[in-house]
Amino acid sequence: MSEQVRTFSEVVVDYFPKLDLYSGAIIRAHGNNHPEAFAVRALFEGMNEKVKKAGTNKPNLEAEFTQLRNITDNYMIPGDVCETYACSRK
């Protein structure tokens, strides 16, 4: 079985607009109970800006992903959140 290898640019085009939409909706819906959602949103905005500035080059986002894992407790999904919140962590 062959697997399609996707480029970083393809992943950005496919997922960043959705993550932008989701992260904004999540802070509106869950920000009061989950203040980490604001930190995730701010981190995503910084990553998005870094990707845009890199243009066709792949930026180094290692520090940002380390920080994201710390903020989200390794992408744990809280038990009291909606499907959109859960999908953003997968």
Q: State residue 2's pLDDT score.
A: 52
In a domain? residue 3: no
In a domain? residue 49: yes
Q: How many domains, in total, are found in the chain?
A: 1
In a domain? residue 50: yes
In a domain? residue 10: no
Q: Is the pLDDT of residue 8 over 80?
A: yes
pLDDT tens digit sequence for 9-31: 888 889 899 999 999 999 999 99
Q: State residue 48's pLDDT score.
A: 94
For the entire predicted model, the pTM comes to: 0.82
pLDDT tens digit sequence for 42-79: 999 999 999 999 988 889 999 999 999 999 999 998 88
In a domain? residue 83: yes
Question: CB within 8 A of 52, min separation 6: which ones?
Answer: none
Expressed as residue numbers, the domain containing 66 is: 40-90
Of 87, 74, 90, which is closest to residue 29 (Cα–Cα)? Answer: 87
In a domain? residue 23: no
Q: Is the pLDDT of residue 1 over 70?
A: no
In a domain? residue 57: yes
In a domain? residue 48: yes
Q: Is the pLDDT of residue 82 over 80?
A: yes
